[in-house]
Amino acid sequence: MAKSNANTELCKGCRLCIQVCPKQAIIPLEDLNKAGYKIIAINTAACIGCGMCYRMCPDYVFSIEQETKSYG
Amino acid sequence: MTALKKPRSIIQPVSFCAGCGHAIIQRLIAECIEELGLQDQIIACCDIACSEWSLDALDYDFIAGPHGRIAAVATGIKKVRPDKIVYAHAGDGSSYVIGLTETCYAAIRDVPITMIVVNNACLGMTGGQMNLATTLLGDKTSSSPYGRSKDSTGHPVDMLKLIQNLDVQFAARGALFDPRHIEETKRYIKKGFENQVSKKGFSVIEVLSPCPTNWNLSPVDAMKKIREENTKVFPLGIYVDREERGTGCG
Ligand SMILES: Cc1ncc(C[n+]2csc(CCOP(=O)(O)OP(=O)(O)O)c2C)c(N)n1
Ligand code: SF4
Ligand code: SF4
Ligand code: SF4
């Protein structure tokens, strides 16, 4: 199954991805990345690889890939 | 489902503010270009305004025209290099206010370029001042701190309704407030490029796009405002498709 993968170093904390995920699989965190923005995490078990997060994110944090490696 | 990955033509991290619609539009442009295999034929034009952040981020030949003159710059390029695929990525201040003449004459001449106008209802780069064409009545900006009033500045104008009266190939308005509308906007942009490949006329795609920084809203609330307010004044849909002989919107 395809899953979303996030490079949170690119995240700018806009939170736009949270509301578009149909599985509530994106979790807003209080942790900061190196640039100082609040990041997110993906609950990979809940993710269905639908790509809504990829389409919404203005900072190209997400990629949707076939699950061939371990995430997290 | 097929894998989704940032287009290869995007070679730098995003320089736009958090939650900025220009960044989503930049991705859509690059995706359309790559899906149509046009990477090596592109001459891109951006404006001296926020779209200029695209200049180094995209791996295309690029020109930043003087602010407001982007449609004229793109026209010049297309006239001397008709073999190239020329697109303009510009703001609404540039395209509809200071550069309204340039935009209208590119449309009147039916120059086969693809013009993408970012309707963010303000002059983004200079601090979010009121945009005569696109700021909604009542909206507070840095130059209308008590809200835009019709008495002093008139009301916003739907420029696609003006362009609709000209003999152009394609005019449509999309928005970015959810993935479905982002995909619809992408279809319009792709159509704009396809028209150019098949040597048809002028295509303009306007996009209702958030500027959370200058709207003083969170990115989430800025998208909500577009969905609930801006789309009421600026209806989404295809305004002109000469191929289909359609002229209505919706
Ligand atoms: C001839 C000229 N006039 C004014 C300016 C200053 N200026 C730079 S960007 C800008 C407004 C940008 O607004 P818009 O075109 O809507 O683009 P945005 O930044 O919102 O994407 C202005 C007035 C300029 N650079 N050149
Ligand atoms: S949409 Fe992108 S930049 Fe915004 S919070 Fe989500 S991952 Fe971060
Ligand atoms: S791919 Fe779909 S389900 Fe998975 S995190 Fe993104 S939006 Fe949520
Ligand atoms: S000022 Fe507005 S339009 Fe310009 S990059 Fe920031 S959010 Fe985007």
Q: How many whole angstroms separate alpha carbon B122 and alpha carbon B211?
A: 8
Q: How confident is the model at residue A18 (pLDDT cuts 50, 70, 90)?
A: very high
Residues of chain B under the 50 pLDDT cut: 247, 250
**Beta strands B203-208 and B237-241: pairing type?**
unpaired
- Residue A67's pLDDT band, with cuts at 50, 70 and 90, is confident
Name residues whose C-beta falls within 8 Å of residue B84's C-beta, 6 or more positions apart in sequence.
B41, B42, B43, B77, B78
Dihedral sign for Cα B7, B12, B13, B18, please.
Answer: negative
Q: How far is it, in rounded angstroms, from Cα B117 to Cα B49?
A: 12
Chain B hits for A17, CB-CB cut-off 8 Å, are none
Question: CB A60 to CB B19 under 8 A?
Answer: no
To the nearest whole angstrom, how far is the Cα of A52 from the nearest Cα of chain B?
6
Q: Are B214 and B144 in contact (CB under 8 A)?
A: no
Q: What is the pLDDT of residues B119-153, one digit of tens each?
A: 999 999 999 999 999 999 999 999 999 999 999 99
What are chain A's domains?
Answer: 2-65 (3.30.70.20)
The whole-number pLDDT of residue B131 equals 98
Residue length of chain B: 250
pLDDT band at A13 (very low <50, low <70, confident <90, very high): very high
Please state, in angstroms and rounded to a whole number, the distance separating the CA atoms of residues B242 and B240: 6
Q: Which of B14, B17, B19 sits opposite A16 (nearest CB)?
A: B19
What's the whole-model pTM score? 0.96
Domains of chain B, with CATH numbers?
21-241 (3.40.50.970)
Strand runs (DSSP E) across B75-184, as ranges?
85-91, 114-119, 122-123, 129-130, 170-175
> Between chains, do B3 and A12 touch, taking CB under 8 Å as contact?
no
Going across the sheet that includes B61-65, the strands are B61-65, B42-47, B85-91, B114-119, B203-208, B170-175, B237-241
Give A54's contacts in chain B (Cβ within 8 Å). 4
Note the ligand closest to the C-alpha atom of A58. Answer: 2
Distance, CA of B60 to CA of A47 (rounded, Å): 35
Query: Which of A15, A26, A57, A60 is the best residue to mutate to test the B interface, defined by the most B CB atoms within 10 Å of its own CB?
Result: A60
Helix (H) or strand (E) segment spanning residue B205: strand B203-208
Report d(CA B91, CA B71) in Å as an integer.
11
Residue B78 CA, ligand 1 centroid: distance in Å = 23
Residue A7 has pLDDT above 50, yes or no: yes
The answer to whether B58 and B45 are in contact (CB under 8 A) is: no
pLDDT at B244: 84
Question: Complex ipTM above 0.90?
Answer: yes
- Nearest-Cα distance to chain A for B154, in Å, is 33
pLDDT tens for residues A22-57?
999 999 999 999 999 999 999 999 999 999 999 999
Q: Do B1 and A51 touch (CB under 8 A)?
A: yes
